[in-house]
């Protein structure tokens, strides 16, 4: 049973953003501080990647752990909703399957892909190591 009315749920869902999220902004600020330059949300690439490093042929996706089904069992954000499982499970699994398809397409096109998870943006030291290693 949903604890919110349909109107309250609709309002809450309308607040969910697909770009310029807090985790994405943390990654963008870190990458910029490290001296890398990038393009945002290139629509001509599968999945509309969050950060695109054209000359390096590298891409970073910043995924919300809930929406993209972070596979780490220790992730506190990748929980399953308690209500409307018949809606949420196919929706969230579909998001994950689409991410896998997009990553495969990008790899076939010659792009290297890094997925940064929302929970990883909490530890900026480890995140910086991961991004430095990826971008070289």
What is the model's pLDDT at position 107?
Answer: 98
What is the model's pLDDT at position 1?
Answer: 65
CA–chain centroid gap for 87, Å, is 21
Task: Name the residue ranges covered by the structural domains of the chain.
Answer: 6-135
Provide the 3-class DSSP secondary structure of residue 22. Answer: helix
What is the model's pLDDT at position 90?
Answer: 96
What is the model's pLDDT at position 105?
Answer: 98
What is the model's pLDDT at position 3?
Answer: 77
What is the model's pLDDT at position 74?
Answer: 92
Instruction: Report the alpha-carbon distance of residue 76 to residue 19 in Å, rounded.
Output: 22
What is the model's pLDDT at position 58?
Answer: 98
Over the chain (136 residues), what is each successive 10-residue block's mean pLDDT? 74 72 97 97 97 97 95 91 89 96 98 98 98 96
Q: Which CATH architecture has domain 6-135?
A: 3-Layer(aba) Sandwich (3.40)
- The kind and range of the H/E element at 127 are helix 124-135
What is the model's pLDDT at position 15?
Answer: 67
């Amino acid at each position: 049973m949903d604890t919110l009315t349909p109107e309250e749920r609709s309002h809450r869902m309308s607040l969910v953003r697909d770009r310029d999220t807090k985790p994405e902004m943390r990654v963008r600020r870190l990458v910029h501080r490290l001296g890398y330059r990038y393009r945002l949300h290139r629509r001509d690439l599968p999945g509309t990647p969050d950060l695109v490093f054209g000359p390096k042929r590298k891409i970073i996706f910043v995924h919300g752990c809930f929406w993209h089904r972070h596979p780490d069992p220790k992730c506190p954000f990748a929980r399953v909703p308690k209500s409307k499982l018949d809606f949420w499970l196919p929706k969230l699994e579909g998001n994950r399957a689409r991410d896998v398809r997009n990553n495969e397409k990008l790899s076939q096109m010659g792009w290297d892909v890094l997925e940064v998870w929302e929970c990883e943006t909490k530890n900026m030291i480890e995140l910086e190591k991961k991004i430095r290693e990826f971008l070289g």
